[in-house]
Amino acid sequence: MSRAAACRWLYAAAIYNLVWGAFIVLAPTALFTWCDMEPPRYVSIWQCVGMIVGVYGIGYGIAARDPNRHWPIVLVGLLGKIFGPIGFVQAVLTDTLPLRFGWTILTNDLLWWPAFVMILWRARRAACATATASAPEING
């Protein structure tokens, strides 16, 4: 993945997370209504989830400026995008969430896996190249 492509993916993730986070904060019961679910008793907790998603958006915007340097932001984002679906599967298996709620997993998580993995792979390769180039030459 080129640097330009990595930047585009991260800017797209930033915009997506900011929009999705704002939607959850401003319309916290909309997703539950769509899924024919009773909204949570404490809607403000769900709004906090929206706020966290929006904060990730800010992080992705920062990472987009220099993906190799800000790879830890991408790593933390990828971990969330892995653990979220795992938690969703557990919730479906215990009848805590309906399968329909999983549509959010497709756009919030799975869509981003390939790009985030490639960005991290690219950052790792760049770090290895830098380390090799700056290593002292050993004459034997």
pLDDT at position 129, please?
A: 79
The separation between CA 106 and the C-alpha centre of its own chain, rounded to angstroms, equals: 12
Phi, psi of 2 (to 5 degrees): -75, 165
Extents of the domains making up the chain: 3-129
Q: How far apart are CA 17 and CA 13, in angstroms?
A: 6
Task: Spell out the alpha helix ranges (H) of 41-70.
Answer: 43-65
| Contacts for 109 with CB less than 8 Å, ≥ 6 apart | 80, 81, 82, 84, 85
Diameter of the chain measured on Cα atoms = 72
pLDDT at position 4, please?
A: 95
Q: Which residues of 91-107 are buried (b: 16+ CB within 10 A; e: fewer)?
A: eeeeeebeeebbebbee
pLDDT at position 135, please?
A: 59
- Alpha carbon distances (Å) from 113 to 25, 110, 133: 25, 5, 30
Structure tokens given for 126: 């760049």
Q: Could you list the pLDDT tens digit for every one of the 140 residues in the chain?
A: 899 999 999 999 999 999 999 999 999 999 999 988 899 899 999 999 999 999 999 999 999 999 999 999 999 999 999 999 999 999 999 999 889 999 999 999 999 999 999 999 999 998 887 766 665 666 65
pTM: 0.86
Q: How far apart are CA 24 and CA 54, in angstroms?
A: 10
pLDDT at position 127, please?
A: 86
CB-facing half-sphere around the CA of 49: CA atoms within 13 A: 15
